[in-house]
Amino acid sequence: MVSDISFDIAGILGPGLMILSSSEYLNFKIWKQVEATTVYLNGLVLLIGGLVIIKYHNLWQLNWALIITILGWLITLLGAYRMYFPKAQQAQKNRISDLFLLLLFLMGCFLTYQSYFNYH
């Protein structure tokens, strides 16, 4: 049984991932010359968002909602990494980064579908 909080978070995280991944793909060049303070603040936003997901959705059940928990932990770890290492080399645009952004977009589509079209 999937909890209501799973549908609520999926309804926010899904469209957010779709917008984030598609806008990153279209504007990847902005990360070539980025200040460490921008990376640090980006990390702070990711850290807080990830912690909110973990706080309210740390559910380890084998169903589609497990994606939310895993994403929450990954977002938290990515945020902490960006805060500890704001001067680290940014990802380069290549097939791997394109595939990663496509995967994020597809996860966003799946979570959006689960929340808005497959709700109970």
Task: Provide the whole-model pTM.
Answer: 0.91
Give mean pLDDT, residues 26-46: 93
For the chain, give the percent of residues with pLDDT over 90: 88
Give mean pLDDT, residues 26-52: 94
Q: For residue 82, with 0-12 CB atoms within 10 Å meaning exposed, 13-18 middle and 19 or more buried, which class applies?
A: buried
Given pLDDT bands bounded at 50, 70 and 90, which one contains residue 67? very high
71 alpha carbon, distance to own chain's centre = 6
**pLDDT by residue (tens digit) across 39-50?**
999 999 999 999
pLDDT given at position 120: 65
pLDDT given at position 33: 87
